[in-house]
Amino acid sequence: MACFLFFLFLSSLFTLGHAQPSVVNERTNSSIWPGPIFYLNSTLQSTWHNKFINRRFQGSDGSKTRAVLLRQMSEKSLAVMCGFYCIDTCTNYSFSVVIAGGNDLSLVWSANREHPAPENTTLQLTREEGLVLINSDGIKIWSTNTSSVSGMNISSSGNLILFNDEGNPVWQSFDHPTDTLLVDQKLIEGQRLTVSSSQYNWSQGPYFATITSALGFAAYTDVDQGPPMMYYQLLPTQNMGSANESVFAEFSQVGLLVNMGTRAQWNYGEYNAIPSSDTVIVFLKLDSIGNLKIYQHDNE
């Protein structure tokens, strides 16, 4: 067994810089600037063809995002968006949630990471089905499969929310984690964070993290034969009363909270972020080689 399995760490703070993300207007139409909320009752089209999206961002690593919804933070160099993300040759795109700041784009959620699709793909928001991704042959690649949708919202912490006429969420990306936990996002029993094979290939790789009442929050690697092998574990030891509540891990402004269903929570990976979600965006990611790291985009 390879010894790197024992070198997993929860790293200290990673700062991703501070400059304005580059905005590229290839087909400029300044009257179209996506906002953070889209209502189906508006007169705007609820179909976005990847190729014809005007608002484009570039990261220093060769990543690009075409924004469908865009929420700028009070610190203007920071933004949270959803849209079509690609990297390197940009042959294929994934409909994603992306954080922009410091000349970097960070991919924090993907709808279709197992089925990336070329530029001629369309996103639709409908009342009956929610968000739907359709390829150039008219085939559905992905959908939220929700009904009673009246609009969508990208929250300041990076949650893509579809809401109904009452404004209540009917679907949210936070309930479908990929490899990242954003602030206020919970990983509940039965859910997994699963790595992408690499920065360039978003297919699932061999490492995942999950939480159970027996073993706490732990990271595992798939092995050729037999059950996955655990290589990292956060298991609170004290018993603080009966364990009859739900078991979950939650990423917060102060670190990763592990709640074992008792009244106490344990806090790991504490760091000194400015406790304001408007000037700093932090997230915890299980990277493609199985390291759990906390990243920060800030405004310095």
Ligand X SMILES: *[C@@H]1O[C@H](CO)[C@@H](O)[C@H](O)[C@H]1NC(C)=O
Binding residues for ligand X (CB under 6 A)? 29, 31-32, 37, 39, 41-42, 91-92, 115-118, 120, 136, 145, 153, 155-156, 163, 167, 197, 201, 203, 242, 244-245
| Opening angle at CA 125, ends 123 and 131, nearest 5 | 70
Q: How far apart are CA 193 and CA 85, in angstroms?
A: 20
CA count, 13 A, side-chain hemisphere, 235: 12
CB nearer ligand X, residue 19 or residue 264 = 264
Minimum Å gap between C-beta 9 and ligand X is 24
Identity of the amino acid at 97 = V
CB nearer ligand X, residue 20 or residue 35 = 35
Query: Are the C-beta atoms of residues 159 and 135 closer than 8 Å to each other?
Result: no
Minimum Å gap between C-beta 137 and ligand X is 7
Which tokens is 46 given?
């609820």
Minimum Å gap between C-beta 49 and ligand X is 11
Minimum Å gap between C-beta 94 and ligand X is 10
CB nearer ligand X, residue 13 or residue 188 = 188
Minimum Å gap between C-beta 186 and ligand X is 16
Q: How far apart are CA 216 and CA 249, in angstroms?
A: 9
Of the chain, the end-to-end C-alpha distance in Å amounts to 43
Q: Does an H or E element contain 3, and which?
A: none
- Beta-sheet strand order (sheet of 94-101): 22-24, 56-58, 63-72, 79-87, 94-101, 104-110
CB nearer ligand X, residue 163 or residue 217 = 163
Query: Are the C-beta atoms of residues 153 and 161 closer than 8 Å to each other?
Result: yes
CB nearer ligand X, residue 141 or residue 234 = 141
Report DSSP state, residue 21.
P
CB nearer ligand X, residue 71 or residue 285 = 71
Minimum Å gap between C-beta 37 and ligand X is 5
CB nearer ligand X, residue 11 or residue 201 = 201
Question: Residue holding tokens 């996103």?
Answer: 123
Q: Other C-beta atoms within 10 Å of 100: how many?
A: 27
Minimum Å gap between C-beta 233 and ligand X is 25
